[in-house]
Structure 1
Amino acid sequence: MSAPSRTTRRLVPYITSREGEHPDYLSSLRGTYGPDGRLQLGYWNELHEDRDLRGVLWGRCSQTIGVDGLPTGRPRWRMVHPSRQRECMEQLRCQVCAQSARTRHGVIFLAGPNEVRSEDVVVRTAQPPVCLKHARAAAEQCPHLAGQPTVFLVQSAPLYGVIGTPYQYGDGGLQALPATDEALPYGHPGLRWYLASQMGRRLRAYTVIALDDLPDR
């Protein structure tokens, strides 16, 4: 979620990056052999949590966390913290408060008013869900949603893939290649040399509703 308008009280999403949070150095990466014996991207001191449930490597980034367990520091609007985005997507937590986004009727996802075509059957998104408490605030404050979001009440949203940066070995050693906003699907061979920064899901079974028609709980 991007910066809110100046006419409303600022609500800083949990997934928003903060000043003082920095990505790890390129020198921390290397080529390493995976479980199948093939060369892949890895860390010199790789930890179990550096890879997601599908075995994809994730970019490390420091976190400024307060005593309440929530991020602190001035928000870096339009920048998403990779670990917190991944946490919310994997566990279907609200991108604003990090609490469960599940309701009795499904999980709430929001998209911009012109982001989804009427003929789309499967929708892909890298925006984590929102909870009932923060759905309206997110719709009002996020310029991307323009106060007129498409509201999805979702019953099935399997993981799809990741957005990130591909790497390769060159004359100067390990090099980053140009990144795109397109998600690379899980199972793609290119993920061996990919450093993920955002996780995506497919909204496969859903109902499009009006914001005022959200369930009470």
Structure 2
Amino acid sequence: MSPRAERLAEAQSRETDSPVRPTTRRPPVIPYITQRMGEEAAPDNLVLLPSRGGVRGRERYRLFYADEEARLDRDLRQVLWARVSFNPYDQRQHPTGDPEWKLMHPFRQRMAMEALRCQICMASATTPLGTVFLAGAHDYERTEPPLLTNQPPVCPKHIRTATSLCAHLRTDPVVFLATSAPLYGVLGTLYGLVDGQVQVVTQPKAPLPYGHPNLPTFLASQLVRRMARFRVLTVPQVLRVLAELPG
């Protein structure tokens, strides 16, 4: 196994529900998925290579890293993912460094969404009643299914923590207790050949669903799920119904 593969495998295996101790500079908890200062995008070594299935007179291409490790660089549906470095981890197995609050680390976001783990601590976010996804009061024009989300779920222990850490969740957050939220697609950047060079073509605002014809030349940075069945609750309501679960 290469050194990079070892680092990614180690990061993928880390799980903890212990918050980082408060300091004078940081809040007591920083979500596991949050990107930290010092975690930077990897050098751009993308290549576009011809792929099978091209239409006559119109060659098709697929995006690769020149030093690609498919098991780590591609997701469960074989979409290529953006590389971002990892800071060292502390004694509690949390990433170190000041938080970049507006950014989610692509690999850690992907881990949480693929396995339905808590974005704060990486414990399982699945309960007998469903999985909790949070949203701001004005994130959606409607609250009828289906809805798309790029925000990983939260475990019952960290529902209030998540609402206190995120500014747009502090006022009337919406809780979706989902019983069906399958993988939908990815957000990211579309690449193409411009004057023989690999260049950014566009960064779509909407996610590309799995199966989209542009995915072979797409570099993903966030995984998206489709909430197909859910109940809409308030924070007190969801805490109450989860507290009533046996055990």
Structure 1 letter corresponding to 2:49:
T
Q: Are positions 1:43 and 2:65 aligned together? A: yes
- 1:32 aligned residue: 49
Whole-Å separation in 1 of the counterparts to 2:84 and 2:142: 37
RMSD over equivalenced CA pairs, Å:
1.9
Q: What is the CA-CA distance between 1:147 and the residue it aligns to?
A: 3.0
- 1:106 aligned residue: 130
Of the structure 1 ranges 128-137 and 144-153, higher mean CA displacement relative to structure 2 is found in: 144-153
Q: Which of the pair is proportionally richer in helix?
A: 2
- 1:3 aligned residue: none
Deviations 1:152-189 (CA, angstroms, capped at 9, x unpaired) = 11110001110001101111610012313311111101
SS at match of 2:48: strand
Unaligned stretches of 5+ residues in structure 2: 1-25, 55-59
Q: Comparing both chains, which one has the higher relative contact order based on Cα–Cα distances under 8 Å and sequence gaps of 6 or more?
A: 1
Structure 1 letter corresponding to 2:66:
W
- 2:78 aligned residue: 55
Q: Which structure's CA Rg is the greater one?
A: 2
Structure 2 CA distance for partners of 1:96 and 1:34, relative to 1, 3 Å: farther
Say whether the 8 Å CA contact 1:139–1:148 is kept in structure 2.
Answer: no
Structure 2 CA distance for partners of 1:156 and 1:78, relative to 1, 3 Å: same
- For residues 1-217 of structure 1, the aligned pairs below 5 Å read 9-26=27-44, 28-34=45-51, 38-47=60-69, 48-66=71-89, 67-118=91-142, 120-171=144-195, 173-214=197-238, 215-216=242-243
Unaligned stretches of 5+ residues in structure 1: 1-7
Q: What is the CA-CA distance between 1:10 and the residue it aligns to?
A: 4.7
Identity %: 44
Return the TM-score normalized by structure 2. 0.79
Whole-Å separation in 2 of the counterparts to 1:118 and 1:77: 27
Say whether the 8 Å CA contact 1:140–1:147 is kept in structure 2.
Answer: no
Count of matched residue positions in the alignment of Structure 1 and Structure 2:
209
Say whether the 8 Å CA contact 1:113–1:146 is kept in structure 2.
Answer: no
Return the TM-score normalized by structure 1. 0.89
Deviations 1:49-81 (CA, angstroms, capped at 9, x unpaired) = 111111100001111131443211111110110
Say whether the 8 Å CA contact 2:143–2:232 is kept in structure 1.
Answer: no
